[in-house]
Amino acid sequence: MRKTLRSDLETGSRRRDELLAAAEQLIVERGLSALTVDDVTGRAGVAKGTFYIYFSAKGELLAALRERYAAAICAEQERALAELPAEDHGGRLDRWVAEAIGAHLEHERLHDALFHHELPADAIKTGVTAANPQLDLLERILGAGAAAGAFALADVETATALLYGAMHAAVDLLLDRGQRPLDVDRVLSATQRFARGAVGADAAG
């Protein structure tokens, strides 16, 4: 019996965990764009080549980190939701939102590195934080509707950002080829209903 207690799946070696932990530390300390295989192995106290025994490429480590992070957050959410009665659907939704935002904020740097839309870091450092005209347009639409009393919005600025994010999610959903082909019309009309509800548009429009 040479088998270890842990499974032999790539997912389960101690070395691998050490490399993951080292990478997570380094990302938090210095950011994703500064992350180097050399640094990771250095921090973990092994030779560079060892990295490729446990990961086929740097990208695989990042994917694994992301997965681990999402799983951890999710476990926390499950716990929080367990406190609420199953019939309190609105309350459960509120709680999901609060927990999700809270968890990501707690792990700021990591969230940023693993989930934020990522351009090579220099783009930001160079200070080219482009104003987004599409966002401005949406904000004007929402602002006008709110002013006219057609939308029930206390916070136009936040709603604009959220709706923009939702719209991008719709696009991503449609572009994600791995899935069975989704009906564009279906997603579109679902998004429009979603948007109307989110801004509190009255039935008349």
Residue 1 binding target from DNA, a copy of itself, none, CB below 5 to 8 Å by type: none
Query: According to CB under 7 A, which residues from 114 to 153 bind DNA?
Result: 122
- Token pair for 41: 């192995």
- By CB under 7 A, is residue 108 in contact with DNA? no
Measured from the CB atom, the residue of 56 and 132 that comes closer to DNA is 56
Nearest distance, CB of residue 1 and a copy of itself, angstroms: 30
Kindly report the number of other CB atoms within 10 A of residue 198's CB atom: 15
Phi/psi of residue 128, nearest 5 degrees: -90, 45
Cα separation, 51 vs 53, in Å, equals: 5
Measured from the CB atom, the residue of 110 and 150 that comes closer to DNA is 110
Nearest distance, CB of residue 13 and a copy of itself, angstroms: 17
Q: How far is CA 192 from CA 12, 50, 93, 149, 170, in A?
A: 44, 51, 20, 19, 10
Cα separation, 65 vs 139, in Å, equals: 35
Nearest distance, CB of residue 5 and DNA, angstroms: 12
- Token pair for 10: 């790539």
Query: According to CB under 7 A, which residues from 43 to 102 bind DNA?
Result: 46-53, 56-59
Q: How far is CA 99 from CA 64, 83, 179, in A?
A: 22, 13, 28
Residue 50 binding target from a copy of itself, DNA, none, CB below 5 to 8 Å by type: DNA
Greatest alpha-carbon span in the chain: 75
Residues 37, 81, 110, 174: which binds DNA (CB under 7 A)? 37
Residue 43 binding target from DNA, a copy of itself, none, CB below 5 to 8 Å by type: none
Site residues (CB under 7 A) for DNA?
A: 2, 13, 15, 34-38, 46-53, 56-59, 122
